């Protein structure tokens, strides 16, 4: 009888430890969302893969973002795009060509910007969350509806590493839930100090 009581007491001590550790691993969605909302600046390398019926088109580049100054995208090392307010200032270094277009003309690259999804976190009423483990890494998946008339860009899923709250992937789907775009982020830096000259345009 005494042995049974000791065993029962031991189990009572062990179970809270086991369940407690499990609870700590499953962090709340709000923690990740609040971390993303608090991003004032970031830099990241990215790879964008656009899929159609015939091929996969790949672009590689780097993002520089400042909440107050705008967004700079360097594409394939010889093209620079500065996003400010409602304009895009483009500089084709290789061909020595500069031009300006309205931001609304960008129906592709803008969806590689993390802040685009942060904006949706404030306005989207259909946010869903999920958790997934891939190759030993635990991710929180943030599922969002993208408000656009483009049938190839209907909804997105952002994979955030739960160890450091850094986004690693974004998958974009069409209205039939076919994967159309995959964005991979690497060397993501949180709130680095950025040179203001990086965001300067000829129009300033």
156's tokens: 């997105």
Domain 28-193: top CATH class: mainly beta
**Cβ(98)–Cβ(80) below 8 Å:** no
Task: Convert 152-184 to b/e letters by CB count within 10 Å (16 or more is b).
Answer: bbbbbbbbbbbeebbbbbbbbbbeeeeebbbbb
pLDDT of amino acid 77 = 80
Residue among 55, 91, 62, 97 nearest 76 (CA): 62
Break the chain into its structural domains and give their ranges. Answer: 28-193
pLDDT at 5: 42
Average pLDDT per block of 10 residues along the chain, 204 residues long: 44 44 59 95 98 94 97 93 94 93 89 94 90 96 94 96 97 97 98 96 69
φ/ψ (deg, to 5) at 164: -130, 0
Residues for the chain: how many in total?
204
pTM of this prediction?
Answer: 0.84
């Amino acid at each position: 009888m005494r042995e049974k009581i000791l065993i029962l007491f031991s189990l009572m001590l062990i179970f809270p430890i086991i369940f407690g550790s499990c609870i700590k691993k499953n962090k709340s969605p709000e923690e990740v969302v609040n971390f993303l909302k608090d991003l004032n600046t970031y830099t990241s390398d990215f790879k964008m893969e656009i899929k159609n019926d015939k091929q996969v088109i790949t672009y590689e580049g780097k993002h520089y973002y400042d909440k107050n100054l705008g967004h700079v995208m360097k594409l394939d090392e010889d093209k620079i795009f500065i996003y400010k307010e409602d304009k895009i200032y483009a500089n084709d270094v290789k061909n020595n060509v500069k031009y300006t277009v309205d931001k609304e003309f960008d129906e592709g690259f803008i969806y590689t910007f993390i802040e685009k999804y942060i904006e949706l976190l404030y306005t989207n009423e259909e946010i869903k969350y999920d958790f997934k483990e891939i190759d030993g890494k635990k991710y929180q998946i943030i599922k969002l509806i993208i408000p656009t008339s483009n049938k190839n860009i209907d909804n997105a899923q952002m994979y955030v590493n739960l160890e450091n709250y850094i986004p690693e992937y974004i998958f974009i789907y069409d209205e039939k839930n076919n994967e159309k775009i995959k964005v991979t982020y690497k060397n993501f830096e949180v709130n680095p100090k950025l040179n203001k000259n990086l965001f300067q345009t000829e129009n300033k």
